[in-house]
Protein backbone atom coordinates (compact mmCIF):
# COMPACT_ATOMS: atom_id res chain seq x y z
CA UNK A 1 0.00 0.00 0.00
CA UNK A 2 1.29 3.44 -0.90
CA UNK A 3 1.32 6.26 1.59
CA UNK A 4 -1.73 8.53 1.68
CA UNK A 5 -3.98 5.89 0.14
CA UNK A 6 -6.72 3.92 1.77
CA UNK A 7 -6.17 0.19 1.93
CA UNK A 8 -8.22 -1.96 -0.48
CA UNK A 9 -9.78 -5.21 0.68
CA UNK A 10 -7.84 -8.33 -0.29
CA UNK A 11 -9.21 -10.91 -2.74
CA UNK A 12 -10.61 -13.22 -0.02
CA UNK A 13 -12.35 -10.33 1.75
CA UNK A 14 -13.84 -9.16 -1.58
CA UNK A 15 -15.24 -12.64 -2.31
CA UNK A 16 -16.81 -12.84 1.16
CA UNK A 17 -18.29 -9.33 0.88
CA UNK A 18 -19.99 -10.21 -2.42
CA UNK A 19 -21.28 -13.56 -1.12
CA UNK A 20 -25.00 -14.11 -0.61
CA UNK A 21 -24.51 -14.25 3.18
CA UNK A 22 -23.07 -10.74 3.27
CA UNK A 23 -24.45 -9.05 0.13
CA UNK A 24 -22.15 -6.02 -0.32
CA UNK A 25 -23.65 -4.14 -3.29
CA UNK A 26 -22.12 -0.68 -3.37
CA UNK A 27 -20.52 0.49 -6.62
CA UNK A 28 -16.71 0.46 -6.62
CA UNK A 29 -14.16 1.60 -9.19
CA UNK A 30 -11.75 -1.18 -8.30
CA UNK A 31 -12.53 -4.84 -8.87
CA UNK A 32 -11.04 -8.26 -8.84
CA UNK A 33 -11.72 -10.53 -11.80
CA UNK A 34 -12.52 -14.19 -11.10
CA UNK A 35 -9.81 -16.47 -12.41
CA UNK A 36 -7.29 -13.75 -13.21
CA UNK A 37 -7.02 -12.30 -9.69
CA UNK A 38 -6.94 -15.72 -8.07
CA UNK A 39 -3.45 -15.94 -9.54
CA UNK A 40 -2.06 -12.50 -8.69
CA UNK A 41 -4.45 -10.93 -6.16
CA UNK A 42 -4.09 -7.43 -7.62
CA UNK A 43 -7.33 -5.48 -8.21
CA UNK A 44 -7.83 -3.34 -11.31
CA UNK A 45 -9.56 -0.02 -11.93
CA UNK A 46 -12.89 -0.65 -13.61
CA UNK A 47 -14.34 2.78 -14.32
CA UNK A 48 -16.78 2.65 -17.22
CA UNK A 49 -15.44 -0.60 -18.65
CA UNK A 50 -17.84 -3.32 -19.86
CA UNK A 51 -16.95 -5.59 -16.91
CA UNK A 52 -18.29 -3.30 -14.19
CA UNK A 53 -21.45 -5.27 -13.40
CA UNK A 54 -20.59 -8.66 -14.80
CA UNK A 55 -20.61 -11.87 -12.77
CA UNK A 56 -16.87 -12.21 -13.32
CA UNK A 57 -16.10 -9.02 -11.38
CA UNK A 58 -15.92 -8.78 -7.62
CA UNK A 59 -16.04 -5.26 -6.11
CA UNK A 60 -12.83 -4.29 -4.28
CA UNK A 61 -13.76 -1.42 -1.96
CA UNK A 62 -11.41 0.15 0.51
CA UNK A 63 -11.51 -1.45 3.94
CA UNK A 64 -12.89 1.84 5.28
CA UNK A 65 -15.78 1.77 2.76
CA UNK A 66 -16.56 -1.86 3.59
CA UNK A 67 -16.70 -0.96 7.31
CA UNK A 68 -18.94 2.04 6.51
CA UNK A 69 -21.25 -0.33 4.59
CA UNK A 70 -21.42 -2.63 7.63
CA UNK A 71 -22.40 0.38 9.76
CA UNK A 72 -24.90 1.95 7.34
CA UNK A 73 -26.52 -1.21 5.97
CA UNK A 74 -26.06 -3.90 8.62
CA UNK A 75 -26.05 -1.78 11.80
CA UNK A 76 -22.59 -2.74 13.10
CA UNK A 77 -20.58 -0.09 14.91
CA UNK A 78 -16.84 -0.53 14.69
CA UNK A 79 -13.72 1.05 16.11
CA UNK A 80 -9.98 0.65 15.85
CA UNK A 81 -8.36 1.81 19.07
CA UNK A 82 -4.85 3.00 19.79
CA UNK A 83 -3.32 1.65 22.95
CA UNK A 84 -0.19 2.33 24.90
CA UNK A 85 3.08 0.89 23.57
CA UNK A 86 2.13 1.80 19.98
CA UNK A 87 -0.37 -1.00 19.41
CA UNK A 88 -3.90 -1.12 18.02
CA UNK A 89 -6.93 -3.27 18.71
CA UNK A 90 -10.53 -3.29 17.48
CA UNK A 91 -14.06 -4.01 18.56
CA UNK A 92 -17.53 -4.02 17.02
CA UNK A 93 -21.10 -3.94 18.25
CA UNK A 94 -24.48 -4.77 16.78
CA UNK A 95 -27.20 -2.39 17.93
CA UNK A 96 -30.91 -2.99 17.36
CA UNK A 97 -33.54 -0.43 16.29
CA UNK A 98 -34.18 0.78 19.83
CA UNK A 99 -30.52 1.33 20.68
CA UNK A 100 -29.79 -1.83 22.65
CA UNK A 101 -26.49 -3.61 22.17
CA UNK A 102 -27.36 -7.11 20.97
CA UNK A 103 -23.78 -8.26 20.33
CA UNK A 104 -20.38 -6.98 21.40
CA UNK A 105 -17.12 -8.52 20.22
CA UNK A 106 -14.59 -9.83 22.72
CA UNK A 107 -11.24 -8.23 23.29
CA UNK A 108 -9.15 -9.17 20.31
CA UNK A 109 -5.53 -9.43 19.45
CA UNK A 110 -3.22 -6.46 19.24
CA UNK A 111 -1.73 -5.17 15.99
CA UNK A 112 1.29 -3.03 15.23
CA UNK A 113 -0.41 -0.82 12.62
CA UNK A 114 -3.81 0.75 12.21
CA UNK A 115 -4.18 -0.90 8.79
CA UNK A 116 -3.56 -4.39 10.20
CA UNK A 117 -6.17 -3.82 12.91
CA UNK A 118 -8.68 -2.39 10.41
CA UNK A 119 -8.27 -5.37 8.06
CA UNK A 120 -8.55 -7.82 10.98
CA UNK A 121 -11.72 -6.02 12.08
CA UNK A 122 -13.23 -6.57 8.62
CA UNK A 123 -12.24 -10.25 8.76
CA UNK A 124 -13.90 -10.59 12.18
CA UNK A 125 -17.12 -8.96 10.91
CA UNK A 126 -17.18 -11.21 7.85
CA UNK A 127 -16.74 -14.32 9.97
CA UNK A 128 -19.35 -13.24 12.52
CA UNK A 129 -21.94 -12.45 9.83
CA UNK A 130 -21.27 -15.73 8.02
CA UNK A 131 -21.67 -17.65 11.28
CA UNK A 132 -24.86 -15.78 12.16
CA UNK A 133 -26.23 -15.97 8.62
CA UNK A 134 -26.66 -12.20 8.43
State the pLDDT confidence band at 98, using cuts at 50, 70 and 90.
confident
Structure confidence at residue 132 (pLDDT): 79
End-to-end CA distance of the chain: 31
Structure confidence at residue 40 (pLDDT): 57
Q: Is residue 73 part of a domain?
A: yes
- Tell me the residue range of the domain where 63 lies: 11-132
Report whether pLDDT(19) > 70: yes
Q: Is residue 40 part of a domain?
A: yes
Q: What is the average per-residue pLDDT within 43-63?
A: 69
- Tally of domains within the chain: 1
Alpha helices in the chain (DSSP H): 11-18, 36-40, 63-69, 114-132
Structure confidence at residue 105 (pLDDT): 74
Report whether pLDDT(20) > 90: no
Amino acid sequence: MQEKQLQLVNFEQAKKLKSEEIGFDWVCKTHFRKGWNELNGVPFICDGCPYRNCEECIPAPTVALALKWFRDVKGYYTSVNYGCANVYCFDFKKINDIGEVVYESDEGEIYTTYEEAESALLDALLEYCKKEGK
